[in-house]
Structure 1
């Protein structure tokens, strides 16, 4: 073999390999932070000089988490990004922003999108598959966490960056981690970079429907210069139906399929306007736990679709413009958020908020603001059970109405309305005694308490929320503020125990 042939063959092999390798995959769908706070995040991968790459994290923080009711109150938010694999941490960094409520006018916002603020982090990253952990914190102790997987391909030329979805706002074009278009903006905008190509080059943009495959494709010819070229591609989506889609950019040098990126179209104002966790709060309160857990693992577009499918099933007037059941349910969430909002999170997810959303406004509320001793609460507990005959089981309902209604201590089976065993019985006197013993052990630590009284089963809007009591029975709840700081926890109820 002649000298140099092996080297030429190796170069040819490397060139062929580079031509067949896809671009850095980044995230297939956005990440959503869940907790007392909320955010959405996207992490496109871009190339640097000398064959290296960096990830650009853009996290959208929502107005609810930025401001306090009092004008001018500063809010500090810190976003912690960690990328790791096989016990090795490559990136561990924190970005912090200071925000004053009077700055709302300076926030990015589309025509229908609520004000928001971006927290951005740029960090070098090596090729490979990385476990992503993002945690948002404020100085009041609120948190939100998101996890995912980031794929980073080899930085071989010619190369195409990961696409970054963007939104036009009054402050210019910004990264748009939600990737939701439609009512808020009827043009899809994608930014990407190309390196290692010169002259006229044609790129193909494919839009895929997850059910029907390729929906649309367009060619874009770019006259590229040496070095790195940046391009913003736009696609009108005014004729696209609501739903989830996939975007694939195919460069002229790609011999294999490029990775797909999810985005969604929504023509409903309420969904386009929603902040970080409004949809998740709604699904947690409305859906069964297993269905809500499944929804949490889906992309934003699929979450919207799955929740809409749920409401379609319970729609009392299918085919009409309005779903009266959902309208009433969402109105209750809004009321609960307004009445019971605290630094712990949305008021609808507090113990009182959950009961309010599930059963409606109580017929009567007895409030004890400053009990002198444990006698007042003891009397309330006795009344809670004595309303019923001994054949009716009475028991505290700790944990959520969906498997965890309260946030207080738990020592008994958790009530699950609509899913408990029918006809189950328990000893009336032992249930009362158990509740009284628990209360006696806490004498001296009770603040105020509230007794909520409903007419019969209240007014649940969904079938699986009905407690299943006999018609002549009336549900009762006791919320106790053990610490005296307005933190009312559900501690006692006469709902049936799940067996």
Structure 2
């Protein structure tokens, strides 16, 4: 029992002693666009590019970027010394427009890190490539990466053999097709160097190291792209004009590069190398247009890429970026943010914080520093095996309003201190605003599946006035003096749900 008092500083998350078995129902994932990032407990990025052969059949290449710190490396003694071995399994599942599975592929990957430090750092990554023929009915693809060295964490998986994994689902379309002159998809690359057969990432005389995030800028300020051109009406040599154009989101032309290339036996490759210095953070389109000299036969291919200059955009996983956006953006703005490409997200967040910098003439943004301090506190105190602290209900309220002025917590309520007893003796409104339902009655909050005493743990946070909101201009005053929040651990496993608030603002 903890009667009313000051909010604790540095207290750790509640550790429960019981075991709860929960049935999880699958939730349909909404397909996005490539490049995409995974959800789940293993983070990776993935992209794809399609290439046609002389018959028009398409082979899809899938590129996966997997940071070392996302997977478990097992220590192994070898003749040459100690090494650290990682093992993952990649599953590809292809679906048609009706959602029916039409094809699939799986492949194991093994790799070695030279030291424990290399095995733990996010600066070292594994680049995985899978090539598969494209089923003609394919509309979406699901990519699952499973860590064969790591079991899933949490009480739910205590007695299972489920492996740690990440998953993404994205729309998949074939490369542009023309009856005469066709181009492959544009493959965004980290580097393109001449190479011999057998070299890593070898393709038609070149080692093309994929860039699955299509991210350029801070660590790679030159756009590099590989593409293939096929002319089905040419059996010999031909000369073609090539135009590479970079446009912004509004369609304004920002850069053009022109050259000529020769195709032998109706096939050739185009390498793109364009400097990006001077372009602000954002998402841009690269178009490649190839025209046979002396004719009007033309092939085109267009794809988007990102320019990122903020180091945080390179170092953070997508789930961390989305968590920050969810904490600071209004609900409708956050919904739009989720659909933005990576480059637009960086630009949007940078503009958001810059417009709220209390001292724009200094290097530090004090408001963002305060936000990060609250995130650190929320992660340290409210994280459980099932959710991160900053995205939990208590974490979101803490980040929004700061520490409460009064804090009451009951870990094992006894008669006289149950949630119903507290509500009967407290100044709580009959209208209960919650995150799950706009309004519920008192009975809905206090009724539990217990035969006698309601023993659910709970916390009550009270702000005598409006708290310390990060964004005071957004807050609408509640109809009562001060703010009150009630969090209930409905299942007894340390996950507290916001069940009452006297402010109509949604969380």
TM-score, normalised by the number of residues in structure 2: 0.70
Q: Counterpart in 2 of 1:473?
A: 482
1:160 aligns with 2:202: no
Cα pair distance change 1:494/1:265, threshold 3 Å: closer
Within 5 A, what are the aligned runs for 1:77-226? 78-85=90-97, 89-95=101-107, 114-125=123-134, 130-135=139-144, 140=152, 144-154=167-177, 158-168=181-191, 174-196=209-231, 198=237, 201-211=240-250, 213-226=252-265
Q: 1:482 aligns with which of 458, 483, 491?
A: 491
RMSD: 4.3
Q: Counterpart in 2 of 1:436?
A: 446
Cα pair distance change 1:475/1:291, threshold 3 Å: same
Q: Is the 8 A contact 1:378 1:439 kept in 2?
A: no
Q: 2:432 aligns with which of 395, 398, 404?
A: 395
Offset of 1:490 from its aligned partner? 1.4
Q: Is the 8 A contact 2:102 2:138 kept in 1?
A: no
Q: Distance in 2 between matches of 1:82 and 1:31?
A: 16
1:250 aligns with 2:259: no
1:280 aligns with 2:292: no
Cα pair distance change 1:244/1:353, threshold 3 Å: same
Cα pair distance change 1:352/1:342, threshold 3 Å: same
Offset of 1:267 from its aligned partner? 1.7
Cα pair distance change 1:114/1:350, threshold 3 Å: farther
Cα pair distance change 1:383/1:242, threshold 3 Å: same
Q: Distance in 1 between matches of 2:117 and 2:268?
A: 33
Q: Distance in 2 between matches of 1:368 and 1:99?
A: 49
Structure with greater proportional helix content:
1
Aligned residues between the structures? 434
Q: Is the 8 A contact 1:90 1:125 kept in 2?
A: no
| Gapped regions of structure 2 (runs ≥ 5) | 1-31, 77-83, 153-161, 193-199, 201-206
Q: Distance in 2 between matches of 1:201 and 1:307?
A: 42
CA offsets 1:405-435 (integer angstroms, 9 cap, x no match): xxxxxxx426xxxxxxxxxxx9xxx62x553
Q: Is the 8 A contact 2:458 2:496 kept in 1?
A: no
Cα pair distance change 1:36/1:355, threshold 3 Å: farther
CA offsets 1:75-101 (integer angstroms, 9 cap, x no match): 856444324235664433344557899
CA offsets 1:245-285 (integer angstroms, 9 cap, x no match): 11011123474572321112122222232222222111222
Q: Is the 8 A contact 1:107 1:117 kept in 2?
A: no
Q: Counterpart in 1 of 2:399?
A: 357
Q: Distance in 1 between matches of 2:353 and 2:247?
A: 26
Q: Distance in 1 between matches of 2:460 and 2:88?
A: 37
CA offsets 1:422-473 (integer angstroms, 9 cap, x no match): xxxx9xxx62x55333375695874x55444545333221247636236853
Cα pair distance change 1:120/1:462, threshold 3 Å: farther
Q: Distance in 2 between matches of 1:355 and 1:100?
A: 43
Offset of 1:195 from its aligned partner? 4.0
Q: Distance in 2 between matches of 1:457 and 1:257?
A: 61
Offset of 1:208 from its aligned partner? 1.2
1:237 aligns with 2:276: yes
1:461 aligns with 2:470: yes
Q: Distance in 1 between matches of 2:408 and 2:114?
A: 39
